[in-house]
Every structure is written in C-alpha cells, then in structure tokens.
Structure 1
Amino acid sequence: MEMNIIERVLKFRDDRNWRQFHNPKDLAISISLEAAELLENFQWSGIDTEVAEKANEIQEELADVLIYCILLADSMNIDIDDIIRSKLEKNEEKYKIEKCYGNKKKYTELE
C-alpha cells in the first residue's frame, strides 16, 4: 500500500532524524523563506505567459512551501484537514456566493 503524501513527508524527515531540528519558529521561518523564493519567480514578469517558462522552478518552490507547512502542522499537532475545513467554513460565511461571485473585493468591502 502506497503512503499518502503527508506520511511520505514525515517519513523522509524521520528517516534522517531531523525532527529534532523542526521547532515551530524555525519551520515558520522556513515557510517564509521558501515563499520568498517562490515569489522571486514572478519578479519582473509583466504578464502571466512570461512565468510559464519558469513552471519547473515555481513547482519546486511551491513544493518546498507545502512540505514545510506539513512539517509545521505536525510539530504543533495540527490536523491539516481540520484547519482547512474550518477556514473554508469561515470563508464561506465571509464570501457569500451571491455577494462575491466574480468580484475580487475583500469581504469587508462587499455590500
């Protein structure tokens, strides 16, 4: 039976005995650093098509961000499914379809 992706990330960490280095502060810093590397791929791109040639780099950096997010959630005993489900429920309340469909305004700016 194949491991799910979260189990695989945690196994990769545990096989290398890296859990000892993974405290919430350093993992949060790592998320921010990797997100900055992701953002760098978009710097000076005038239009979306210019980033298409950077798709591989973008995927690599996005993967790094997601991996660190998994590690931070694990270090804090946070269930990823639960927090995403909860956040989606809150967003559904803030962004009612009938008020925000096709509209990019923040929920506080919607009528």
Structure 2
Amino acid sequence: MDEIIKKIIQFRDERNWKQFHDPKDLALSISLESSELLELFQWKNSQQAIDQNYSDMRDEIADILIYTLTLAYDLNVDVMDAILQKINKNAEKYPIAKSKGSSQKYTALNEYGRMP
C-alpha cells in the first residue's frame, strides 16, 4: 500500500497538482468519479453493465481509489488502520446473530432503532 501511495503522490507532485488538491476538492473528486462509475450501470442490469463497460469500470474505480488515497495521505490517515477500525465498528453495529442474511440498517436490527 505504501508503494502505491508513494507513486500517486510522486505523480501528483511532478505535475505540481498539490495546489489543486485541497481536502474539499479531493472529496468532491471522489464523489464525481463515483458518479461516473455509477453512470456505467445506468439503464442496464449489473451483468450487462459489467459486460459492456468493464474496462471503463476499472478506470473509474482506479480514479476513486487514487483520489481517496491522496486525501488519506494529505490528512495523515493510516488507511489500513482506518479500515480495520471501521470493520470493528461495523461488527458492533451488525452482530452476526441479528444481521446475518439481512440487508437492514443497524438501526432497524435493534428494538426501537437504538443500539443495544
């Protein structure tokens, strides 16, 4: 992961693009690239979209990850640690006994919509 982040930052810095990469603009870019990915699914079922747009999907996913990793780097967020912490939080919100096989939000899994 560190090697990938290093390459992303080197690419940015060689082009003097850091001046355009404040946290707000990086967050906006993540959202915009996510919308571009979503657009590839518009008016198709999942399999049709994948069959017709797989290469473009790869590019959009890469763009999302590049902007996300750049933002994490600039905010000094340890990506691996953040992911592990979030998985732990989600495990508390979605205990296996209540959430297995369910698509309900955690608030709906508990009585009165509150955490236990």
- Tell me the TM-score normalized by structure 1: 0.88
Cα deviation for residue 17 of structure 1 reads 2.2
1-structure distance, mates of 2:46, 2:38: 13
- When you count helix as a share of all residues, which structure comes out higher? 2
2-structure distance, mates of 1:85, 1:6: 18
Structure 1 residue ranges without an equivalent (≥5): none
Structure 2 residue ranges without an equivalent (≥5): 111-116
Q: Does residue 82 of structure 2 align to residue 51 of structure 1?
A: no
Q: In the alignment, residue 51 of structure 1 is paired with which amino acid?
A: A
2-structure distance, mates of 1:81, 1:43: 32
The residue that corresponds to 1:63 in the other structure is 62
- What is the alpha-carbon root mean square deviation over aligned residues? 1.4
User: Secondary structure at 1:54's aligned position in 2?
Assistant: helix
Q: Does residue 74 of structure 2 align to residue 89 of structure 1?
A: no
The residue that corresponds to 2:11 in the other structure is 12
2-structure distance, mates of 1:6, 1:100: 35
Count of residue pairs the alignment pairs up = 108
1-structure distance, mates of 2:22, 2:53: 32
Cα deviation for residue 4 of structure 1 reads 2.3
User: Secondary structure at 1:103's aligned position in 2?
Assistant: coil
- String of CA shifts for 1:21-40, please: whole Å, max 9, x gaps: 21101111111111111110
- Tell me the TM-score normalized by structure 2: 0.85
